[in-house]
Structure 1
Amino acid sequence: MTATNAWLAEDYAQVNTPHVKTALAALSLAGDALEQGGAFAEIGCGTGEIARTAAERGFDVWACDASPSMVDATRRLCAGLSVHAEVCPAEKLDLPQERFTVAHSSWVLHWVTEVDAPLRRMARALRPGGYVVLQWTGAQPRGDGPGMFGILREIAGSPKWKGLLAGAQPAMHEYPAEEVAEVLVDAGLEITHYEPEIVHALSAKGPGLDPAELPELRRRYKLAGFATQAAALGERADEFVDEVLRAVFEADRARLHHARIVARRPA
């Protein structure tokens, strides 16, 4: 199983409120697209809150996620609404061309093994005047070197943990904001909002790890970011997560470098 298709909706729902809020904030930057109706693509639907919101605004929604548990949750939340949800990782997107008013993906790109092709498919799927709305983590410039994801990979691949995590190595990837923007422009879109470093509710609050905050940070990462590793490690999950978090803060790499880009297909 990959990191995302192993996630359980009931776990993710405990920590996803900040993600939903930032997704709604990003969508508000898509001009008047949310008032136009039409078709809405939700790539990485999670537990379905954004799909439901779009459907309640009059959109026909196509939603996907790599996690069957997430897709089931979206179907339950959106029952009776114009929402079709299916299991499909972003790497295998096959969207009809020039169909969607909005193609939205928040907090997904850093789980995708290669983003060029999925981004181009999203761009082709927009009707004239349509918007793609993206948010993701690990968007720092290449010259800054790897951040938390790099430290996570290093620790997971160390002799202490490598054998225990043989089938659950971290799957996060870094995609600099400028590189994502270049792909979108090359695909024929115009950038209408470019924010290579946004503040997220889950961003680190300071340079050091406050011991009082460790239990809550551990809980959040076990339920979401490190969920696959936590499931594989069982009773040793806390030990692994604590080691990663302490190393990240000691290296001053706790900033996750969240980015937001909105782009439009010319009318």
Structure 2
Amino acid sequence: MTATNGWVAEDYAKVNAPHLRTALAALSLAGDALERGGAFAEIGCGTGDIARVAAERGFEVWASDASQSMVDATRQRCAGLPVHVEVCPAERLDLPEDRFTVVHSSWVLHWVTEVEQPLRRMAGALRPGGHLVLQWTGAHPRGQGPGMFGILRQVAGGPKWRDLLAEAQPAMREYPADEVAARLTAAGLDLVHYDPELAHPLSAKGPGPTLADLPDLRERYKLAGFATQAAALGERADEFVDEVLTTMIEAGQVDPHHARIVARRPG
């Protein structure tokens, strides 16, 4: 469920269980779509958990991810099942039109450099009555200013880290939920479920994380959101991750702003 080449499947699997639960919860909002079989597209397949679930329920699955490591893990996990998997960033999606009963993408949109074309292609790939299931991070309104991803880019682009991360600048972008919803309706889909402030198992609870939580947060983000930067920095990865997280905590920008949309093609 990622779209950056720095991710390693073995590391991702260590923090993937909550993401898998949210994906299954989102798919359950698509009515009886998972019981009807047909074709299933998994955009950002991660380690192949959802692709396997869909295949075991009778779907033929087309899965993709930008990470070769994730694609290899999906092939292994789904061996013997009708799962076709390839390396393909979401920006280069080439899905056949009018084909899929379900198109699913959890925790990927915020890795995409622009979403208009990918969203249009996902919508166009649905057969009449098909469902598009999306979840992503960084969905807060434009008026709230830069959030966690903005702070990450500011730190990574500063003089201390800019040269070291010249080939590994953060790719995450913010896409407000209302803008994504508008693009889907413009593509002819009906919104079945719209949650612009989704609670996520990895989100902070209560007052949010403090500096005392840095050790736990550091390991989680090194394996997940900052994997590409951590790989590029080597022994200095902890220093970078701590600086980013400390800046976020001190700025009060620790809400990831998750969102979930389920949309249906009429017919």
**What TM-score, normalized by structure 1, do the two folds share?**
0.97
Aligned mates of 2:204, 2:229 — CA distance in 1: 21
- Answer whether contact 2:40 2:60 (CA < 8 A) is retained: yes
Aligned mates of 1:150, 1:124 — CA distance in 2: 31
What percent identity do the matched residue pairs reach?
Answer: 77
Can you list the C-alpha shifts for 1:11-61, whole angstroms capped at 9, x where unaligned? 111111110000000000001111110000000000000000000000000
Aligned mates of 1:84, 1:151 — CA distance in 2: 37
Aligned mates of 2:35, 2:248 — CA distance in 1: 42
Which residue identity lines up with residue 118 of structure 1 in the other structure? P
Match of 2:26 in 1: 26
- Answer whether contact 2:3 2:108 (CA < 8 A) is retained: no
Note closer, same or farther for the CA distance 1:153–1:206 as it changes in structure 2 (3 Å cut).
farther
Which residue identity lines up with residue 214 of structure 1 in the other structure? L
Match of 2:72 in 1: 72
Aligned mates of 2:44, 2:186 — CA distance in 1: 23
Which residue identity lines up with residue 228 of structure 1 in the other structure? T
Aligned mates of 2:40, 2:76 — CA distance in 1: 18
Match of 1:262 in 2: 262
Q: Please state if 1:53 is matched with 2:46.
A: no
Can you list the C-alpha shifts for 1:226-262, whole angstroms capped at 9, x where unaligned? 0111111111111111111111011110000000000
**What TM-score, normalized by structure 2, do the two folds share?**
0.97
Q: How many residues align?
A: 266
Match of 1:85 in 2: 85
**Aligned to 2:252, what secondary structure does the other structure show?**
coil
Q: Please state if 1:167 is matched with 2:161.
A: no
- Answer whether contact 2:156 2:162 (CA < 8 A) is retained: yes
Aligned mates of 2:254, 2:133 — CA distance in 1: 25
Which residue identity lines up with residue 58 of structure 1 in the other structure? G
CA-atom RMSD, angstroms? Answer: 1.2
Aligned mates of 1:95, 1:224 — CA distance in 2: 27
Which aligned runs of 4 or more in structure 1 are off by greater than 3 angstroms?
A: 206-212
TM-superposed CA distance for 1:211, in Å, is 4.3
**Which runs of no fewer than 5 residues in structure 2 stay unpaired?**
none
Match of 2:249 in 1: 249
Aligned mates of 2:85, 2:3 — CA distance in 1: 20
**Which runs of no fewer than 5 residues in structure 1 stay unpaired?**
none
